[in-house]
Each structure stands twice: as C-alpha cells, then as structure tokens.
Structure 1
C-alpha cells in the first residue's frame, strides 16, 4: 500500500489518480491470481482442462479491452459497460428516483443502507452515470482487500480505504481522523462520496445508521465548526437501495441463526469475496435506488439527531416490493418456499423477517423533521 507523504497525506487510502492508471493496469495484466479468477468466471469448464490456454486468452482479452484506458474515467466507462451487462442478466430492471432534484455541480455525501458488499455503491454510481451526474468516491473496508489485485481494482474504481483492521486506541483514532479528513478533503474538492450507514451489511433487514460513523465525520471539524455546521457543509443525502430478491439471503439467515444459537460466527477467509461474487451474479429481481433530499444542519446538533433523519429518509424512500410485503403478511408468501427450501426452521424464520423488516420500518416512519 502506498505510504502517505507530506505532499500527499492520503496516499495510503485514496483512489488512484489518472497518472497512476497505466502502471496499475499493467500490474493487473501481469497478475496471475487476477487472470486466473477471470478465467474461471468466463470459462468455468474450459479452465479446468485447458487452464494455460484459457489464461492466455483472458490475458490477451484484458490487454485489448484496457489497452486504450489512460485514466480513471476511461476505466469507469469499462466498468460501467460490464455492470450494465451484468444487471441486464441478473435483474428484472433497475430504477432510481430523486437524482433530478440534486445539483450536478454540487458534491454530496451519499449515506446509504447496506445490503450488498460491492453492488450497493456500484448501483449508486451507475444511477449517477445514467443521469449524467458525476460518480462518487467509494468508502470500502480494508477487510475486503484480501488480495493485491482486489485493492488495485477498487482503487482504480474511485474507492478509498476504510481501515477497519486498525488495532488499539491510538491506531484506531489515527485511522478515523485520517478518514474524516479525507472525506472532508474530497467534498471540499468537489468530489461526491459514498459510504454505508453502518459497518457490515444489515443482514436482518433493519437499516439503521451507526451514530459512531457520524461522529467520525465530525473529527476533522470539531475545532473549527459545530456539528450542525458540518452537516450543512457536507450536503448529506440518504440513499435507500431496495432489492426485490437478495442473492445472499440464505447465507445471511444461516449466519444470523448461528450467532443466535452459539453466540459467535467465524467467517471463512474468502467468505466476503464469495459474497461479493454472489451479489453480482445472483438474480435480484427488480432493484430501485432512491436518493433522498440533502439534510439541513438546522436541528442536527448531535450524531443521534442526524442518524434519526438519515434513517427516516431511508425507511420512507425504501421501495417495498411484493417480496417485502408478502413477508410482512400483506400478500402471497408462496415465493418463500423456494427461498427457504433446505433451511432449518429458525433460518427460514430469519430470512422471512429480513424481508419483512423494511415494511415495519416504513410503517413507523415519523413525520419529516425538516
């Protein structure tokens, strides 16, 4: 990982810059682990028997596809084309709302609910691109960066690193201070930012903002401005991402059931990366991305108040599909039989509850605090 310098204090966590792109792409083309991953995905059967041949073919294809990419925008165009193709195969349509009320010339801090590890921010940026809005820089936990090529791919795609693995009070405080300063630096420089409302996905379907995240936002401001002034400065826009079907719903239910019965759950070394892959390739039904309205600093004097308003907008704007309504008893639950086949009774109940929770949250949304 790049080390920060006085000239570039965020070198260790920031996305790659345009002048760094050619060298990183060259590194990826020479990365055997990356080539093998793509080979297995694109040619699952052939790669078993003709591994060297398929890897050579994949390496050639990647070089040809990325040969003319010279900057971050060019790389994102390639990613956008791939994502569009993936969404056409794995969804029954993607819609969005609220972007027409935002100013393309302003940077925003998008705080969204968190259901899918990588697809959530990808969908936000995809919607922004479709609506001719600038894409956002993406906060991603270093727990996901198990392989150097994953780090390269993420940082090429405007991701910055959230150091969740920091140990000890001093190291953690330094990491959070750096992150707070970087978010402010990005917004002040005219770059929108995406970050999840909580650490880890809402596996139980309950989208709640962690006040600790909002305290982190304020670290770089506490000596210069009030919490409410920071809120005004950041143009915080809550985002509600709704999936009609969650490709990882069974895995989440099993994890929650294990936690409930044993009090602990130990992730496998590649579990997060496998969940990322399943989220991209699994069928999702319809998907909707709802952008809320920028939050005014008036009345937002502490993290709890801000968390409440973010949650209110996410719960209010979350698009309820028939799967959610049926799970909450407001329709036909026949689809559940397929989703819960083979699950233990407690796992099936948790899966159903996860789909039902957004309905309960939406029904309890208070009137606007604005």
Structure 2
C-alpha cells in the first residue's frame, strides 16, 4: 500500500480496478449460473412467483436467456455498446426526455475527473456515460462503494461496467488511509497513464434531501497520491482536469423511500437498511419514472486553488448554476409556502395535477420531507442553503 504513484504497476490496483477485456468472457460465462443473481432477477421480474413451485423452472429459463444474450460480448467495448441499446430503451420508456448541455467544454483527446451531484446509485453515472456515448466520447470509469458489492454477482456486474471499488468498509485509521491512498493512486493512474476519465460523486451517499454539497474530504483524497511529491496543491488539482457535472431529475423514482429514510433517521436516530434494499433501489432507479432528465457538464476547474475547501466551493458553484429546475421543484417550494419574495413560474393545470398526484402517492407522514427534497434545489439556486 505504500507504493508510490511513480512506481505503481497496474497489478497494484487489481483489488479495486474494473475488469479488463481478457477477463470479460470468463465473468459472463459464470454470471448466468449465479444462483443469487437468478433469484434477484426472478424477484424483480416475477415477485409473486419467486417463492412458488415454479421458481426453479423460471430460474433455469432466466439462466438460458441471460447466456444467449451475452454470448457475443467479448470485450468491455462490446458491453458498453450493449448497455447503450438498453439505455436508449430505458430513456424512451421511463423519461419524458433526456437533454445534455456543456459537451462543448470537453476535449475528446483529454481525460477528465467528473465530479457530480448524486441522486441515484446506478443512473447518475449511467446518464453521464450515455451523454458522452451519444457525443462520440469515451465513457468513464465509475467509483462505487464496496457497501454495494456485498453480493459476488453485483461485484461482477459493476466491474464489467467499468466500475472501480471505493473501500469504505476498511477498519481503523491505518487501513482507511491505505485504502484512500490506493484509490487516489488509481485515479491518477487512470487519468494520466491510461487516459481514462473518472466519474465520482461529490460526497459519500446519495443526497436524499435534495441538497448538493461537495465534501472537501473527497478533494483531499484526490491529492493523497502526490502528497510526498512536492507538487503544489493547485498543480495537482489542475492536472486532474476536474469537471463539475449537474444531474437533474424532474422526478425521483425513489422519492418516497428517501423521504421515509430521512424521517426515520430524524425520529429514531438511525435507519436500518434491509438485506436487498440497495439492490432494490438500483432496480427501481432504472425502471421508475423520472420525468425529464438533464445532464450539464461544467467547465474544467482552472484556478490557483489554495485548499480542498476552495475546490469544493468551486464545484458547488458550478453545480448550483448548472442544475436544471423543473416544475416539480418550484411547485414543492410553493406547497411549503417558502417562496418568500421569489415569484413561482406559472404552470398549467395538467402540470400541477401531475405533481399533486405524485405527492398524494407519498404517505402523509413523509410528505413534508418529500416536498423539501424537491424544493431544496430551488433554495440552493437562490442561495438560501
């Protein structure tokens, strides 16, 4: 773990890196045989039959179907093209439009460290990747916490899709520092030596309250790899080509679940996740209705930053400015009677009815938090947070 960035070999990152082309076929051959994956798909596709006498036969059919669908995939690039087809289909069926801004700020010949706000476990990096893909740019490597990789099949699926592992479960200060140093080295290695862009969330965990702020500890982690090199902090930041990204969803498929979690934490001081909750969240985030979705790429950070706080503030400012506000955000602020002297735009009856119908589907005890989650981006834009 003490290996310096200058001397680190690719093998030093084997525990956290994505899979390589030569590993793809072996992984895809074993996934259709994974009993936990088959049970998870059965639970999602046919929940009423998951524990019935038909379950074994259905799992066999799912296994055969999976194997036939991935038989022609032999590389990471093949898989990205395959995923792109499903992304297009998902966008057509679960959104009311997908738009992209700021792609002109990016150079196809450069690698970037994209830092975005975080609302959905799988869809945030997926939408960033799709925005790059449809603009003929390379997709990114995705930072994902090991708390989501408790099942071997999830680990395989994520690492096939260019994900690398953030070892959040490390115990003790020394282990944690070693894990963060390795992660920092890998990010530098990817960008500078392998010319692969990186996506990482601005803080650990999704913003369940709709408040997007960058954790300066993330910025400090980026710099760990070159801490002993003597390079100036500002130069390290400049070399990483940091680009803020704002992801905006008109509706969050997990808005009720997030509101319940926040309320229960406020009430009981903690929230205990169920065994399959993260996997279910990923599935609901993919399949659930999102309304309009917008991805806005900011401009690469260019400044003589003194410390991590200054970098975090610069990222926040771009995300605040780039975030696209939808009627759901304005109407939530109006419903909370917190608009103050801010004039809420006018919306037609159909838009208001759709918003009120969605609010009514949220249990009453969570509605205030639900509204706050949608209203907070407006308050952030107005500088009230």
- For normalisation by structure 1, the TM-score amounts to 0.92
> Counterparts in 2 of 1:27-46, with a 5 A limit?
27-43=30-46
Question: Are 2:294 and 1:288 aligned?
Answer: yes
The answer to whether the 8 A contact 1:250-1:339 is kept is no
Q: CA deviation at 1:51?
A: 2.7
What corresponds to 1:272 in structure 2? 278
* Number of the residue aligned with 2:163: 159
Can you give the 5+ residue segments of structure 2 that lack an aligned partner in the other structure?
1-7, 335-343
Contact 2:105 2:298 in 1 (8 A): no
Match of 1:324 in 2: 329
**3-state DSSP of counterpart to 1:290:** strand
- Per the alignment, residue 13 of structure 1 pairs with 16
Q: How far has the Cα of 1:108 moved from its partner?
A: 0.4
Name the counterpart of 1:26: 29
Q: Which of 356, 360, 363 is residue 337 of structure 1 equivalent to?
A: 356
Unaligned runs of 5+ in 1: 366-370
Q: Which of 276-285 and 54-63 deviates more?
A: 54-63
Q: CA deviation at 1:59?
A: 2.0
2:369 is the counterpart of 1:350: yes
- CA gap of 1:85–1:7, structure 2 versus 1, over 3 A, is closer
The DSSP-based 3-state class of the residue aligned with 2:246 is strand
Q: Is the contact between residue 336 and residue 352 of structure 1 (CA under 8 Å) also seen in structure 2?
A: no
Q: Is the 8 A contact 2:105 2:297 kept in 1?
A: no
The answer to whether residue 301 in structure 2 is matched with residue 301 in structure 1 is no
Matches within 5 A, 1:180-259: 180-188=184-192, 189-224=194-229, 225-259=231-265
RMSD over equivalenced CA pairs, Å: 1.9
For 1:86, the equivalent position in structure 2 comes to 90
TM-fit CA distance, 1:292: 0.5
Map Cα deviations across residues 230-267 of structure 1 (whole Å, 9 max, x no partner). Answer: 11101100000000000111111111111112222222
Count of matched residue pairs: 360
* Number of the residue aligned with 2:3: none
**Is 2:137 the partner of 1:133?**
yes
Q: Distance in 1 between matches of 2:45 and 2:358?
A: 27
Q: Distance in 1 between matches of 2:24 and 2:255?
A: 36
Q: Secondary structure at the match of 1:9?
A: helix
1:343 & 1:60 partners in 2: Cα distance? 39
Does the aligned pair in 1 maintain the 2:105–2:300 contact within 8 Å? Answer: no
Deviation at 1:147, TM superposition (A): 0.8
Q: Deviations over 1:283-308 (max 9, x none)?
A: 00010011100001x23110000000
1:95 alignment partner in structure 2: 99
